[in-house]
Structure 1
Protein backbone atom coordinates (compact mmCIF):
# COMPACT_ATOMS: atom_id res chain seq x y z
CA UNK A 1 0.00 0.00 0.00
CA UNK A 2 1.32 3.42 -0.98
CA UNK A 3 0.95 6.42 1.28
CA UNK A 4 0.15 9.91 0.08
CA UNK A 5 3.17 12.17 -0.47
CA UNK A 6 2.44 14.16 2.66
CA UNK A 7 1.73 11.15 4.89
CA UNK A 8 4.99 11.48 6.84
CA UNK A 9 4.46 15.21 7.39
CA UNK A 10 0.88 14.63 8.55
CA UNK A 11 2.00 11.88 10.92
CA UNK A 12 4.75 14.13 12.26
CA UNK A 13 2.17 16.86 12.98
CA UNK A 14 -0.17 14.38 14.67
CA UNK A 15 2.65 13.25 16.98
CA UNK A 16 3.58 16.87 17.78
CA UNK A 17 -0.01 17.87 18.58
CA UNK A 18 -0.61 14.83 20.77
CA UNK A 19 2.72 15.29 22.58
CA UNK A 20 2.05 19.01 23.12
CA UNK A 21 -1.32 18.17 24.68
CA UNK A 22 0.02 15.35 26.85
CA UNK A 23 3.06 17.28 28.04
CA UNK A 24 0.81 20.17 29.11
CA UNK A 25 -1.73 17.87 30.75
CA UNK A 26 0.46 15.15 32.29
CA UNK A 27 3.98 16.57 32.23
CA UNK A 28 7.07 15.52 30.31
CA UNK A 29 8.23 12.75 32.62
CA UNK A 30 4.80 11.15 32.88
CA UNK A 31 4.39 11.02 29.11
CA UNK A 32 5.92 7.85 27.77
CA UNK A 33 6.77 7.44 24.12
CA UNK A 34 5.11 4.04 23.81
CA UNK A 35 1.68 5.17 25.15
CA UNK A 36 1.94 8.36 23.09
CA UNK A 37 2.52 6.47 19.86
CA UNK A 38 -0.07 3.80 20.72
CA UNK A 39 -2.72 6.51 21.24
CA UNK A 40 -2.09 7.58 17.65
CA UNK A 41 -2.20 4.03 16.29
CA UNK A 42 1.53 4.08 15.60
CA UNK A 43 4.42 1.90 16.73
CA UNK A 44 7.03 2.93 19.25
CA UNK A 45 9.76 2.18 16.71
CA UNK A 46 8.13 4.54 14.22
CA UNK A 47 8.81 7.42 16.58
CA UNK A 48 12.47 7.52 15.52
CA UNK A 49 11.52 8.11 11.89
CA UNK A 50 10.25 11.51 13.06
CA UNK A 51 12.40 12.56 16.04
CA UNK A 52 15.99 11.96 17.19
CA UNK A 53 15.00 11.54 20.83
CA UNK A 54 12.39 12.40 23.42
CA UNK A 55 14.33 15.61 24.11
CA UNK A 56 13.95 16.52 20.43
CA UNK A 57 10.22 15.86 20.69
CA UNK A 58 9.95 17.95 23.88
CA UNK A 59 11.51 20.98 22.19
CA UNK A 60 9.35 20.67 19.07
CA UNK A 61 6.19 19.97 21.08
CA UNK A 62 6.92 23.04 23.22
CA UNK A 63 7.11 25.11 20.01
CA UNK A 64 3.81 23.57 18.88
CA UNK A 65 2.18 24.36 22.24
CA UNK A 66 3.35 27.99 22.11
CA UNK A 67 2.04 28.37 18.56
CA UNK A 68 -1.32 26.89 19.61
CA UNK A 69 -1.42 29.19 22.63
CA UNK A 70 -0.73 32.26 20.49
CA UNK A 71 -3.55 31.34 18.10
CA UNK A 72 -5.95 30.67 20.96
CA UNK A 73 -5.03 33.87 22.77
CA UNK A 74 -5.56 35.96 19.64
CA UNK A 75 -8.99 34.39 19.08
CA UNK A 76 -10.10 34.70 22.72
CA UNK A 77 -8.94 38.27 23.20
CA UNK A 78 -10.10 39.34 19.70
CA UNK A 79 -9.10 42.97 19.85
CA UNK A 80 -9.16 43.49 23.62
CA UNK A 81 -5.46 43.78 24.32
CA UNK A 82 -5.87 44.97 27.87
CA UNK A 83 -3.88 43.36 30.63
CA UNK A 84 -7.17 42.79 32.51
CA UNK A 85 -8.59 40.76 29.60
CA UNK A 86 -5.40 38.69 29.45
CA UNK A 87 -5.58 38.06 33.21
CA UNK A 88 -9.23 36.97 32.93
CA UNK A 89 -8.39 34.59 30.09
CA UNK A 90 -5.31 33.14 31.80
CA UNK A 91 -6.97 32.60 35.18
CA UNK A 92 -10.23 31.26 33.78
CA UNK A 93 -11.85 28.05 35.04
CA UNK A 94 -11.48 26.65 31.51
CA UNK A 95 -7.70 27.21 31.52
CA UNK A 96 -7.53 25.51 34.92
CA UNK A 97 -9.50 22.43 33.86
CA UNK A 98 -8.07 22.06 30.34
CA UNK A 99 -4.30 22.25 30.68
CA UNK A 100 -3.85 20.29 27.45
CA UNK A 101 -5.11 23.35 25.53
CA UNK A 102 -3.40 26.04 27.58
CA UNK A 103 -0.11 27.58 28.50
CA UNK A 104 2.77 25.10 28.83
CA UNK A 105 4.54 27.09 31.57
CA UNK A 106 2.57 25.77 34.58
CA UNK A 107 3.23 22.15 33.66
CA UNK A 108 6.44 22.10 31.68
CA UNK A 109 8.69 24.89 32.97
CA UNK A 110 9.62 23.28 36.27
CA UNK A 111 10.37 19.98 34.55
CA UNK A 112 12.56 21.65 31.94
CA UNK A 113 14.50 23.33 34.72
CA UNK A 114 14.81 20.12 36.74
CA UNK A 115 16.01 18.26 33.66
CA UNK A 116 18.66 20.92 33.12
CA UNK A 117 17.14 21.69 29.74
CA UNK A 118 15.85 25.26 29.77
CA UNK A 119 14.53 26.28 26.39
CA UNK A 120 14.76 29.39 24.25
CA UNK A 121 11.10 28.75 23.45
CA UNK A 122 10.27 29.17 27.13
CA UNK A 123 12.15 32.48 27.11
CA UNK A 124 10.18 33.53 24.04
CA UNK A 125 6.86 32.66 25.68
CA UNK A 126 7.79 34.51 28.87
CA UNK A 127 8.80 37.50 26.76
CA UNK A 128 5.50 37.50 24.89
CA UNK A 129 3.50 37.26 28.09
CA UNK A 130 5.46 40.18 29.56
CA UNK A 131 4.89 42.22 26.40
CA UNK A 132 1.16 41.45 26.49
CA UNK A 133 0.89 42.53 30.11
CA UNK A 134 2.98 45.68 29.61
CA UNK A 135 1.15 46.71 26.43
CA UNK A 136 -2.21 46.21 28.11
CA UNK A 137 -1.49 48.51 31.04
CA UNK A 138 -2.30 52.22 31.10
CA UNK A 139 0.35 54.32 29.38
CA UNK A 140 2.91 56.24 31.36
CA UNK A 141 3.37 53.76 34.17
CA UNK A 142 6.53 51.81 34.97
CA UNK A 143 5.35 48.43 33.81
CA UNK A 144 8.43 46.24 33.40
CA UNK A 145 8.89 45.05 36.98
CA UNK A 146 5.15 44.95 37.55
CA UNK A 147 4.65 42.69 34.52
CA UNK A 148 7.24 40.20 35.83
CA UNK A 149 5.43 40.02 39.17
CA UNK A 150 2.07 39.67 37.43
CA UNK A 151 3.25 36.91 35.11
CA UNK A 152 4.77 35.01 38.02
CA UNK A 153 1.48 35.36 39.91
CA UNK A 154 -0.51 34.14 36.90
CA UNK A 155 1.55 30.99 36.46
CA UNK A 156 1.76 30.30 40.19
CA UNK A 157 -1.97 30.79 40.74
CA UNK A 158 -2.77 28.42 37.89
CA UNK A 159 -0.41 25.78 39.30
CA UNK A 160 -2.00 26.05 42.75
CA UNK A 161 -5.57 26.08 41.42
CA UNK A 162 -4.91 22.97 39.34
CA UNK A 163 -3.46 21.16 42.35
CA UNK A 164 -6.36 21.98 44.70
CA UNK A 165 -8.83 19.12 45.16
CA UNK A 166 -11.61 21.38 46.44
CA UNK A 167 -13.19 23.22 43.46
CA UNK A 168 -14.20 26.14 45.70
CA UNK A 169 -10.59 26.57 46.84
CA UNK A 170 -9.35 26.38 43.25
CA UNK A 171 -11.83 29.07 42.18
CA UNK A 172 -10.91 31.21 45.20
CA UNK A 173 -7.24 31.10 44.18
CA UNK A 174 -8.10 32.14 40.62
CA UNK A 175 -10.61 34.83 41.65
CA UNK A 176 -8.42 36.40 44.34
CA UNK A 177 -5.39 36.49 42.07
CA UNK A 178 -7.44 37.97 39.20
CA UNK A 179 -8.78 40.72 41.46
CA UNK A 180 -5.40 41.54 43.02
CA UNK A 181 -3.62 41.66 39.66
CA UNK A 182 -6.28 43.91 38.15
CA UNK A 183 -5.90 46.18 41.16
CA UNK A 184 -2.14 46.30 40.53
CA UNK A 185 -2.77 47.48 36.95
CA UNK A 186 -4.60 50.54 38.19
CA UNK A 187 -2.19 51.45 41.01
CA UNK A 188 1.02 53.42 40.95
Structure 2
Protein backbone atom coordinates (compact mmCIF):
# COMPACT_ATOMS: atom_id res chain seq x y z
CA UNK A 1 0.00 0.00 0.00
CA UNK A 2 1.28 3.43 -0.92
CA UNK A 3 1.06 6.20 1.69
CA UNK A 4 0.50 9.88 1.01
CA UNK A 5 3.41 12.30 1.15
CA UNK A 6 2.16 13.59 4.49
CA UNK A 7 1.48 10.19 6.07
CA UNK A 8 4.72 10.01 8.05
CA UNK A 9 4.26 13.50 9.55
CA UNK A 10 0.59 12.82 10.30
CA UNK A 11 1.53 9.58 12.06
CA UNK A 12 4.25 11.39 14.02
CA UNK A 13 1.72 14.01 15.15
CA UNK A 14 -0.79 11.33 16.18
CA UNK A 15 1.97 9.59 18.12
CA UNK A 16 2.89 12.87 19.86
CA UNK A 17 -0.79 13.55 20.68
CA UNK A 18 -1.39 10.09 22.05
CA UNK A 19 1.95 9.78 23.86
CA UNK A 20 1.59 13.22 25.40
CA UNK A 21 -1.83 12.36 26.79
CA UNK A 22 -0.63 8.97 28.08
CA UNK A 23 2.49 10.52 29.64
CA UNK A 24 0.50 13.25 31.40
CA UNK A 25 -1.99 10.69 32.69
CA UNK A 26 0.31 7.91 33.86
CA UNK A 27 3.88 9.11 33.51
CA UNK A 28 6.22 8.72 30.59
CA UNK A 29 8.76 6.44 32.24
CA UNK A 30 6.13 3.77 32.82
CA UNK A 31 4.93 3.82 29.21
CA UNK A 32 6.53 1.26 26.92
CA UNK A 33 7.14 1.81 23.22
CA UNK A 34 4.75 -1.00 22.30
CA UNK A 35 1.95 0.55 24.37
CA UNK A 36 2.57 4.01 22.94
CA UNK A 37 2.46 2.65 19.39
CA UNK A 38 -0.57 0.47 20.06
CA UNK A 39 -2.47 3.60 21.12
CA UNK A 40 -2.12 4.91 17.55
CA UNK A 41 -2.75 1.54 15.93
CA UNK A 42 0.83 0.67 14.97
CA UNK A 43 3.37 -1.95 15.94
CA UNK A 44 6.27 -1.22 18.25
CA UNK A 45 8.74 -1.65 15.41
CA UNK A 46 7.21 1.25 13.50
CA UNK A 47 8.24 3.58 16.34
CA UNK A 48 11.77 3.93 15.00
CA UNK A 49 10.47 5.32 11.72
CA UNK A 50 9.50 8.41 13.73
CA UNK A 51 11.93 8.66 16.65
CA UNK A 52 15.45 7.40 17.25
CA UNK A 53 14.76 6.55 20.88
CA UNK A 54 12.19 6.82 23.62
CA UNK A 55 14.21 9.73 25.05
CA UNK A 56 13.88 11.56 21.73
CA UNK A 57 10.11 11.06 21.90
CA UNK A 58 10.05 12.42 25.46
CA UNK A 59 12.00 15.51 24.38
CA UNK A 60 9.53 16.11 21.55
CA UNK A 61 6.56 15.63 23.91
CA UNK A 62 7.98 18.07 26.45
CA UNK A 63 8.67 20.73 23.84
CA UNK A 64 5.26 20.36 22.23
CA UNK A 65 3.19 20.06 25.41
CA UNK A 66 4.90 22.96 27.14
CA UNK A 67 4.53 25.15 24.08
CA UNK A 68 0.81 24.35 24.01
CA UNK A 69 0.57 25.20 27.72
CA UNK A 70 2.36 28.50 27.13
CA UNK A 71 0.04 29.35 24.25
CA UNK A 72 -3.02 28.76 26.42
CA UNK A 73 -1.73 30.24 29.67
CA UNK A 74 0.03 33.27 28.18
CA UNK A 75 -2.96 34.01 25.91
CA UNK A 76 -0.71 34.24 22.87
CA UNK A 77 -2.11 36.54 20.25
CA UNK A 78 -4.42 38.21 22.78
CA UNK A 79 -4.01 40.92 25.38
CA UNK A 80 -3.17 39.29 28.71
CA UNK A 81 -4.60 41.59 31.33
CA UNK A 82 -5.55 40.88 34.92
CA UNK A 83 -9.12 39.94 34.00
CA UNK A 84 -7.95 37.35 31.47
CA UNK A 85 -5.34 36.09 33.94
CA UNK A 86 -8.03 35.69 36.61
CA UNK A 87 -10.28 33.76 34.20
CA UNK A 88 -7.28 31.55 33.38
CA UNK A 89 -6.70 30.89 37.08
CA UNK A 90 -10.30 29.78 37.47
CA UNK A 91 -9.93 27.27 34.63
CA UNK A 92 -6.46 26.09 35.68
CA UNK A 93 -7.28 25.67 39.37
CA UNK A 94 -10.39 23.57 38.87
CA UNK A 95 -11.42 20.06 39.80
CA UNK A 96 -11.88 19.19 36.12
CA UNK A 97 -8.22 20.08 35.45
CA UNK A 98 -7.16 18.03 38.47
CA UNK A 99 -9.08 14.99 37.29
CA UNK A 100 -8.17 15.12 33.59
CA UNK A 101 -4.39 15.27 33.55
CA UNK A 102 -4.24 13.85 30.02
CA UNK A 103 -5.91 16.96 28.57
CA UNK A 104 -4.30 19.45 30.93
CA UNK A 105 -1.09 21.30 31.51
CA UNK A 106 2.12 19.30 31.15
CA UNK A 107 4.01 21.27 33.81
CA UNK A 108 2.52 19.58 36.90
CA UNK A 109 2.02 16.26 35.12
CA UNK A 110 5.55 15.83 33.77
CA UNK A 111 7.57 18.17 36.00
CA UNK A 112 9.26 15.44 38.05
CA UNK A 113 10.24 13.50 34.92
CA UNK A 114 11.49 16.65 33.22
CA UNK A 115 13.64 17.36 36.30
CA UNK A 116 15.35 13.98 35.79
CA UNK A 117 15.76 14.38 32.02
CA UNK A 118 18.90 15.45 30.21
CA UNK A 119 19.96 19.08 29.98
CA UNK A 120 18.41 19.71 26.56
CA UNK A 121 14.95 18.67 27.79
CA UNK A 122 15.33 20.80 30.93
CA UNK A 123 16.47 23.73 28.77
CA UNK A 124 13.40 23.34 26.58
CA UNK A 125 11.25 23.38 29.72
CA UNK A 126 13.08 26.43 31.05
CA UNK A 127 12.55 28.30 27.78
CA UNK A 128 8.80 27.63 27.92
CA UNK A 129 8.53 28.54 31.60
CA UNK A 130 10.43 31.79 31.11
CA UNK A 131 8.17 32.69 28.18
CA UNK A 132 5.09 32.09 30.35
CA UNK A 133 6.60 33.97 33.30
CA UNK A 134 7.39 36.96 31.10
CA UNK A 135 3.82 37.11 29.77
CA UNK A 136 2.43 36.94 33.29
CA UNK A 137 4.99 39.51 34.54
CA UNK A 138 3.68 41.99 31.98
CA UNK A 139 0.12 41.47 33.16
CA UNK A 140 1.07 41.61 36.84
CA UNK A 141 3.73 44.31 36.63
CA UNK A 142 6.15 42.12 38.59
CA UNK A 143 8.52 39.37 37.43
CA UNK A 144 8.71 37.99 40.98
CA UNK A 145 4.93 37.80 41.34
CA UNK A 146 4.74 35.97 38.01
CA UNK A 147 7.16 33.26 39.21
CA UNK A 148 5.29 32.97 42.52
CA UNK A 149 1.94 32.70 40.73
CA UNK A 150 3.26 30.01 38.42
CA UNK A 151 4.73 28.03 41.32
CA UNK A 152 1.51 28.33 43.33
CA UNK A 153 -0.64 27.12 40.42
CA UNK A 154 1.56 24.13 39.66
CA UNK A 155 1.96 23.24 43.33
CA UNK A 156 -1.78 23.40 43.99
CA UNK A 157 -2.49 21.13 41.04
CA UNK A 158 0.16 18.62 42.11
CA UNK A 159 -1.20 18.55 45.68
CA UNK A 160 -4.78 18.17 44.50
CA UNK A 161 -3.80 15.24 42.27
CA UNK A 162 -2.07 13.57 45.21
CA UNK A 163 -5.22 13.21 47.31
CA UNK A 164 -7.91 10.59 46.91
CA UNK A 165 -11.19 12.41 47.40
CA UNK A 166 -12.81 15.00 45.18
CA UNK A 167 -13.83 16.96 48.28
CA UNK A 168 -10.21 17.56 49.30
CA UNK A 169 -9.15 18.15 45.68
CA UNK A 170 -11.82 20.83 45.42
CA UNK A 171 -10.77 22.41 48.71
CA UNK A 172 -7.14 22.60 47.58
CA UNK A 173 -7.77 24.16 44.17
CA UNK A 174 -10.53 26.51 45.31
CA UNK A 175 -8.64 27.81 48.35
CA UNK A 176 -5.48 28.24 46.26
CA UNK A 177 -7.40 30.02 43.51
CA UNK A 178 -9.19 32.32 45.97
CA UNK A 179 -5.91 33.13 47.73
CA UNK A 180 -4.22 34.02 44.44
CA UNK A 181 -7.13 36.13 43.24
CA UNK A 182 -7.17 38.03 46.58
CA UNK A 183 -3.44 38.67 46.12
CA UNK A 184 -4.04 39.96 42.60
CA UNK A 185 -6.78 42.27 43.88
CA UNK A 186 -4.41 43.70 46.53
CA UNK A 187 -1.95 44.83 43.86
Aligned partners of 1:5 and 1:92: how far apart in 2? 42
Aligned partners of 2:62 and 2:43: how far apart in 1? 22
Match of 1:119 among 103, 119, 122: 122
Give the aligned partner of residue 182 of structure 1. Answer: 181
Aligned partners of 2:116 and 2:58: how far apart in 1? 14
Q: CA deviation at 1:134?
A: 2.0
Structure 2 stretches of 5 or more lacking a match?
none
Please tell me whether the aligned partners of residues 66 and 107 of structure 2 are also in contact (alpha carbons under 8 angstroms). no
Aligned partners of 2:70 and 2:143: how far apart in 1? 21
Give the aligned partner of residue 134 of structure 2. Answer: 131
Q: Deviations over 1:107-152 (max 9, x none)?
A: 2111121345552221122113312332332x5xxx1222212111
Please tell me whether the aligned partners of residues 15 and 40 of structure 1 are also in contact (alpha carbons under 8 angstroms). yes
| Change in CA separation of 1:24 and 1:42 when aligned onto 2, cut-off 3 Å | same
Q: How does 1:21-60 map to 2 (within 5 A)?
A: 21-60=21-60
Aligned partners of 2:79 and 2:87: how far apart in 1? 10
Give the aligned partner of residue 148 of structure 1. Answer: 147
Q: Deviations over 1:77-113 (max 9, x none)?
A: x766423222212112221121112111112111121
Please identify, of 111-120 and 177-186, the stretch whose mean Cα deviation from structure 2 is larger: 111-120
Q: CA deviation at 1:73?
A: 4.5
TM-score by length of 2: 0.87
Q: CA deviation at 1:171?
A: 0.4
Aligned partners of 1:121 and 1:19: how far apart in 2? 18
Structure 1 stretches of 5 or more lacking a match?
none
Aligned partners of 1:132 and 1:162: how far apart in 2? 26
> How many aligned residue pairs are there?
184
Give the root-mean-square deviation of aligned CA atoms: 2.3
Q: CA deviation at 1:69?
A: 2.8
Please identify, of 6-15 and 113-122, the stretch whose mean Cα deviation from structure 2 is larger: 113-122
Aligned partners of 1:130 and 1:163: how far apart in 2? 25
Aligned partners of 1:135 and 1:92: how far apart in 2? 24
Aligned partners of 1:19 and 1:174: how far apart in 2? 27
Aligned partners of 1:124 and 1:23: how far apart in 2? 21
